[in-house]
Chains A and B, each alone.
Chain A
Amino acid sequence: MTAPNLRNAAAIVGAAESDVIGYPMELVGERVTSLQHHIQAIKNVSVQTGIPIADIQGVFSAGWTGELCEHLGLKPRYLDTTSVGGCSFQIHVHHALAAIHAGIIDIALVSHGEAGWSYRGGGGGGGGRGQISPAAEMTIPYGTFGAPSQYAHAMVRHFHRFGTTQEDFAHIAVVTRQWATLNPRAVMYDKTQSPFGGPITLEDVAQARVIAWPLTLYHCCLVTDHGGAVIVARPEVARSLRTRPVWITGAGESMGHQNMLEMEDFTATSASRSAATAYKMAGLGPADMEMAMIYDSFTVTAGITAEMLGLAPRGKGYTLWKDGDAAPGGALPINTNGGGLSFNHSGMYGMQLLVEAYRQLSRTAEDGVNGVTGKQTTATACVVNGTGGTLSTTGTLVLTSDDR
Chain B
Amino acid sequence: MAYNKPVPPQGQHTKPFWEGAKEGKLMLPRCRDCNRAHWYPRLICPSCHSTDLEWVPASGKGRVHTFAVQHRAFGGWAEEVPYVTAFIDLDEGDRMMTVLRGVDAAKPEEIRIGSRVKVEFEQANDHTFIPFWRVVEESEASEEGVAT
Contact = CB atoms under 8 A, between A and B. Distances in A.
A213 B82 contact: yes
Contact of A30 (B12, B72, B77): B12
Contact of A213 (B7, B11, B69): B69
Given A135-B40, A156-B66, A149 B49 contact: no
Interface in A1-52: 30-33, 35-36, 39-40, 43, 46, 52
A143 B99 contact: yes
A154 B66 contact: yes
B115 to A, nearest CB: 12
Contacts of A232: none
Interface residues of B, number: 48
A138 interface: yes
Contact of A160 (B9, B39, B42, B66): B66
Nearest to A154: B66
Contacts, number: 151
B35 interface: no
Interface string A132-159: 1111111111111110110011111100
Interface string B32-70: 000000011111101101010000000000000111111
A324 to B, nearest CB: 29
Contact of A132 (B9, B46, B85): B9
Nearest to B113: A160
B49 A43 contact: yes
A141 B130 contact: yes
A89 interface: no
B73 to A, nearest CB: 5
B77 A153 contact: no
B interface, over-half SS: loop
A157 B11 contact: no
A46 B71 contact: no
Contacts of B9: 130, 132, 137
Given A43-B44, A157-B66, A160-B66, A139 B97 contact: yes
Contacts of B13: 36, 134
A266 interface: yes
B41 A32 contact: no
Contacts of B70: 143-144, 149, 152, 212
A131 to B, nearest CB: 8
A144 B85 contact: yes
A142 B40 contact: no
A372 interface: no
B67 A138 contact: no
Contact of A261 (B7, B47, B72, B97): B97
A31 B12 contact: yes
B65 A157 contact: yes
B6 interface: yes
B108 interface: yes
Contacts of A143: 5-6, 70, 73-77, 80, 83, 85, 99
Contacts of A262: 40, 95
B41 A134 contact: yes
Given A153-B85, A211-B72, A214-B108, A141 B43 contact: no
Nearest to B44: A39
B123 interface: no
B113 A156 contact: yes
A196 B68 CA distance: 26
A210 interface: yes
A73 interface: yes
Given A33-B12, A134-B11, A156-B113, A71 B46 contact: yes
Contacts of B130: 141
A19 to B, nearest CB: 10
Given A43-B49, A138-B8, A209-B71, 17 more contacts: A71-B42, A137-B11, A140-B6, A141-B8, A141-B124, A143-B74, A143-B76, A143-B77, A143-B80, A144-B85, A144-B97, A210-B71, A213-B68, A213-B108, A261-B39, A261-B40, A261-B96
Interface of B: 5-14, 39-44, 46-47, 49, 51, 65-77, 80, 82-83, 85-87, 95-99, 108, 113, 124, 130
28 contacts: A33-B11, A36-B13, A43-B44, A52-B49, A71-B43, A71-B44, A134-B40, A137-B8, A137-B14, A137-B40, A138-B14, A138-B40, A140-B7, A141-B8, A142-B98, A143-B77, A143-B80, A144-B85, A149-B85, A153-B87, A154-B66, A157-B65, A210-B69, A210-B71, A211-B71, A212-B68, A213-B71, A262-B95
Q: Which 4 A/B pairs are nearest by Cβ-Cβ distance?
A: A143-B77, A152-B68, A213-B69, A73-B46
